[in-house]
Structures are given as structure tokens and as C-alpha cells.
Amino acid sequence: MNPNSNGAPQNNRRPQGRPYRGHRPLDTRVKHASTLSGSAPLPGSSSASRPGSTFSHSPRSAQQNRSVRPFRGNRPTSNATRAGQQGEVRRTDGVGGAKATGGKRRRGRTGERMRKSMTQPPLHHRMAETDPKLPVIPPLPSADAIRVIPIAGVEEIGRNMIVVETADDIVVFDAGLQFVSEESNAPGVNYILPNTKYLEDRVHKIRALVVTHGHLDHTGGIPFIMERIGNPPIYTQYLTSLMIAKRQEEFPHLPTIDMHVVKEGESFTVGKMTIKTFPVTHSIPDAMGVSVITKFGNIVITGDIKLAHVDGKPLEDEVAAWGSVGKDKNVLMVADSTNAEREGFSAPEANVHANIEEIVRNATGRLIIGTFASQFERLINVILSCERMGKKIVTEGRSIKVNIEIAQLAGLLTVQKGTIISSTEIDNYPADRVVILSTGAQGEEFAALMRIATGKHKSIRLTERDTVVFSSSVVPGNEISVQKLKDNIYRTGAKVIHYRTANAVHSTGHGNIGELIWIQQQVRPKFFMPVHGHHSMLRCHANAAVENGFPKANIVIPDNGTILDITGENTFIVQKEKAPSEDIFVDGFSVGAKQEVVIRDRQSLANDGMFVIIATVNVKTGRLRKSPDIISRGFVYLRESQQLLSEARILIKRTVEKHTENMNPLNLDYVKDELTETVSAFLMQKTNKTPMVIPVLIGI
């Protein structure tokens, strides 16, 4: 590696295949994370200058800085530099959490578009009440027993959370969210969170939240659940801490986060529980696994993992890291299963970098690369490649812009002045000297890549000389939207490259079954619990372990909320009762359990629309004073349904006057119920639809 003056690597080809991990800031005044009783502000800033977070860092000696693994970048070592970079990032909108909206924005008096505020008002928490009819969760079977609960993330992809509990302490590992899909059957809901009822009932025992890496399926729930679980301190690595703190800026009303930054290989103690960290390879830097030290042996939680390898042979870094974990006495391994259904080994990220670099070099027109904004290493590689080739970078998409700034703040990337230009400057450069990094490769309607493909982008129009690279796989459920996106691009005549048409331009962040079994054999646990994935993925992981000699009786395939109690070095109990695991919804600014009535009404409105009846009733005679008004939305086109409306008005008049005859005083609530049933049956008979019928009767 030939580091530049700021410590960022000039050579983006990383034969070791490991992610950038970077050096920590040198500051011996800051207490070690394992001995902190409180929290210290980030050097070079005050806790007040970074809303929603305070930091404590682990010191690193100069000798440690010289001996770290290659190709991992340097953290800023100057307080002034750090403070300036932090100020720059604070001025950028936060990471994630924003919903794309269509339509025209409001304009101010000057005609300028009014920017939507990225800060959120206080959240309304609907706390779950204890249901006496539900089975009571048994206490720990003994004072020495260790309880492990996958609260969520084992019957789905996303909203990962694992709880480790002893007689005195609870530590929570990860707090992710899940994005709402059609299968979620939850219209209008923003996100789905892990159920925290078990933790809320034991909030006095919670000592820490440990976050393994910065992806939203492991961090996205933090702003929404921290108040519910008592705002425990957060322990994580440097880049992840920056991503968490950045997102917290969108929620200024929340209490300040007590952030403790650790580095891979460190140990720290919370309560009476000691936790040791170790490096893992994933699709984002600063990913780590953890080992919880207990009297029966270590509980190894891998986080999301894959291997850096060459033709199925793990690199020396991997052998050393996992071999070190395997030297310990490990009683339980809790391991990622996302790609357990795929045979062999996944494509190394180093291959993807080499292939994309070749595409960048050979591009004869503009090159648009659509990828996930969280692919830090890939974004860094493209930027460094463009700098070497004298090409310009255009960033399209808020999350990519924010993550590039976070990478700069974290010391993972130093961008030369003039490398990144705005989209309005594209025409100032030859087409083959422009590379566009864009979000929206999943076909999101309002994302940058879709706007470019449909000709709605204000500065970028695709031509036959352009090439679009989909450097991402298709997330399940997005197949139709991605196909529409590709169709729109092909209509422009541009060339399309994706992971099925060329050498690897995307690599998963999760290991295939060959990698997972190799890792398990290095760790050598007594018991094994597959997590992170649908049940089929967990089952495939377990089956592969058995086929490779692991005892079937020592495997626990969990559901969300499964309670595993380790009672000895060779014994465990799977409790019949489960921790609460029902979905928790973020619905606007409300956080709580699913409200069946609300969701059912939304489904009805989405499917069949609404039919509103407004009628005035003479309170003396019970007769209608005039023909009722009818408002319909999403049901039928009124201009083409005049006959239906005429019949409906006659039926409404007849029904109201029939049920008010000889009624004194008038009971309009009773009449509304009868009117709803009668009109609903009529509309079903005439249209085979069941719109929501809403009668409004006004007594005059």
C-alpha cells in the first residue's frame, strides 16, 4: 500500500480481500471502552455539538497503528481535522429513514421549492400491556444459567435482534428494522421492528446494546426502540457509530446516545458480562462478531459474515481471525444463515472490484453504476479508480452522498479536489470521462436511477453511448420494479450490464454454505443455532452442519422468540413458552403493536374504496329533508354509474324512513348501523365489491 499524506490508500486493489477497517483517532486522554463508567465526548468536539450522541473511544498506540492489517485506511489524527469533518457531515441530511414522495412540492413566495425537514417530531409509543391469558415466561432455571433469545430475524430477512441474559444482566445484540413489503400485509406502515416486550419487562437488567455493523437491518430500529428499553449505552466500531449518530440527528427530541467505540479484538465488560469482539468480513467496513464469555464457555454471535478467499481457499487473515475464535471454549455458536441455500463459496468482493474497474477503464460513453449506498468498499473502489484514470464522479441519491461523507469522516476515503462534480457540470466533460454513482437499482419509483431511465432527471439524459451497470442483486419482491427499470433503460438504447450478463459486478455480503461450514468447523462450538433468514435458510444451514458431522441433537432451529437456556457445558433447555415476537410497527410517528382495526380498514380502502352517504333527517318526522349526497373514492367512476347512484339514493331514503318510523326520540346510531348493512349488501350485489360504507346522518 502507498498511503497518501492523509493515510487513505491509493491502491484500491486489495489482494487480502478484507474490508477497510481504518485506524482509530490517537488520543490517550480518552478512557478505554472496557473501563468506562460514563461517556466522553468525541475528541475535538463537544457532546452538544453532535445532537443525540456522545462518544467514548479506545486508545491505539503508534505501534498498534503500524501493525494493523493492510488496506484499512487511517482515521483522522488531528482534532481540528476531526472537528471540521464532523461539522461538514452534520450539515448533510441524515442516513436513511426518509420516504420518497411524489407530486409537486410546495413553493415559497419566491418560487423556490420548500425543502422538507429531515427532523422528526417526538414519537408516540404505544406500550404493550401484559395479557394475563398468555403463558408466563419461566425464570432462568438456575443462577448460573445463560438465556439466549432471537427476538426477531429468524423467520424473515431483517429486524435482527438477539438477547443474552444472565441472572444479573441483559445485553442486546443489534436492533434492526424490516422494510414493509406486499407480503407484510401492512399498508401505510413505514417499518417493522423487533418486539421489545420481553426487554421492557426487564429493563432494569439491560446493560448495553452491542451493534455488529452499520446496515439498517441491524441498526435501523435504534431511534424507535431506545426509549422503550431504557436507553442503554451502545457499543460498536467507529464507522457504525458514525452511521448511528448521523441517523439520530433526524430525531433531535430523543435522549442523547451514550456511544462507546471499540475496535476489533477488544474486550469490554458491562455489568458482570464480558464481551470480546473479533473481525469478520461483510459488505461494509467495521463489521464484527462477538463472543460473550460465560462459565460454561463462550457464546459466539457471528453477525453477518462471508469469507475473503481465492478459489475456495480462505485468506490468511480469515484463518487467523477464526482460528483465534476457535481456540476458546465455545459453548454456542449463533450464525448467519442468509445464503445457506446456495452451494459452494460466494464471489469474492475483490473480483467485483477488478471487474468494475475494467468496465470503468473501457467505457466509451458515460457510465452509470447503480448500487446499494451501504456498499462502502465498492463506492470507495470506484472513486479511487476514477481518480487514477482522470475521470469525474457524479453522485446521485441522498444516501450515497451521505455515506461518502461518512467514509471521509471515518478516514476510509480522501477525495481529491475536483473529482466529484455536480450533475449540472456533466456537459463540461467528455462523455467517456464521467461516471455516475446512483441509488435506485431496486427500481424504486422516485429514486435517481428510475428518474434517469424515464427521462425525468433535470440534468441527465441517457443515450446509446451510455452504459448502465447494476452492481446489486435483486432483492426478493422487487423483481417487477427492477424489470420495469431495465425496460426503461433499454428503450433509450443504452447498454445494460448486470450480475447475470457479465463477470461478477456484484457480490453478496453473506457467505454461501461452503463458507458457513468452514467457519463453524473453525469455531468448534458445542451447540449451534442458525439465525438471520427464513426458516428454509435456517434448516438448510442445520442440515449442512449435520452432513458435515455436527450432532443433530446439539442444534436448535429457532422461531422468533424461542428461549434457549444453557444450563451446563453439555446441557440446554428449549422452553415451551416464547418471548413476545409479534410485529411492532412504525406507523407515521406512532410506534407500537399492530392495530388490527386500522390495518383492516386500510386494506378495505385499498381494495374496494369508500362510499360515503350524507343525509339530513327531520328529527320530528324521521323523513329525509332532501335527497342524500354520495361521495365515492376508489369504488366506481361516478360519471359512468349514475343509474347505480339513483338506485342507491332511493334505497337510502327508504331504509332511513323505514327505521325512523314511529321512533321517538330518534336513535341515529341505530339507523346508521342498519343503513350500513343494507347499502353494503346492495353494492355487493350490484358490483361484486365491498367498499367501506360510511353513513353520516345529521338530525335537523
Q: What amino acid positions are annotated as catalytic residues?
A: 336, 510
SS3 278: strand
**74: closest CA among 9, 143, 159, 120?**
9
Q: Which three cell numbers, joined as nine digits, stand for 233?
A: 449505552
Which 3 state secondary structure label does DSSP give 224?
helix
C-alpha to C-alpha distance for 151 and 196, rounded to whole angstroms:
8
Cell 433535470 found at: 458
Kindly write down the DSSP assignment for every residue of 162-200, as one continuous string.
EEEE-SS-EEEE----EE--GGG--TT--EEE---HHHH
Handedness of CA 316, 317, 322, 328 (dihedral sign): positive
Number of Cβ atoms within 10 Å of the Cβ of 313: 12
For strands 330-336 and 297-301, give the pairing. Answer: parallel
**Residue 498 pairs with which residues in a beta bridge?**
470
- How many Cβ atoms sit within 10 Å of the Cβ of residue 224? 24
Q: CA of 490: how far to CAs of 415, 441, 487, 494, 505, in Å?
A: 33, 14, 5, 6, 19
Q: At what angle do helices 376-389 and 349-362 cross, to 10 degrees?
A: 30
Measured N-to-C along each axis, helices 238-248 and 398-409 cross at an angle, to the nearest 10 degrees, of 130
Q: d(Cα 637, Cα 614) in Å, to the nearest integer? A: 18
Task: State the Cα–Cα distance between residues 352 and 507, nearest whole angstrom.
Answer: 7
DSSP symbols for 477-528: T-HHHHHHHHHHHHHTT-EEEETTTSS-S---SS-BHHHHHHHHHHH--SEE
Report phi then psi at 184, rounded to 5: -70, -25
* Residue 203 DSSP code: G
Phi, psi of 327 (to 5 degrees): -70, -25
Answer for the pair 160, 532: CB distance below 8 angstroms, yes or no: yes
- 259-296 in b/e burial notation, b at 16+ Cβ within 10 A? bbbbbbebebbbeebebbbbbbbbbbbbbbbbbbebeb
Kindly report the backbone phi and psi dihedral angles of residue 206, in degrees, each rounded to the nearest multiple of 5, phi listed first.
-75, 120
DSSP state of 48: G
The cell numbers describing 542, all together, are 442445520
Q: Is 301 helix (H, G, I), strand (E, B) or coil?
A: strand
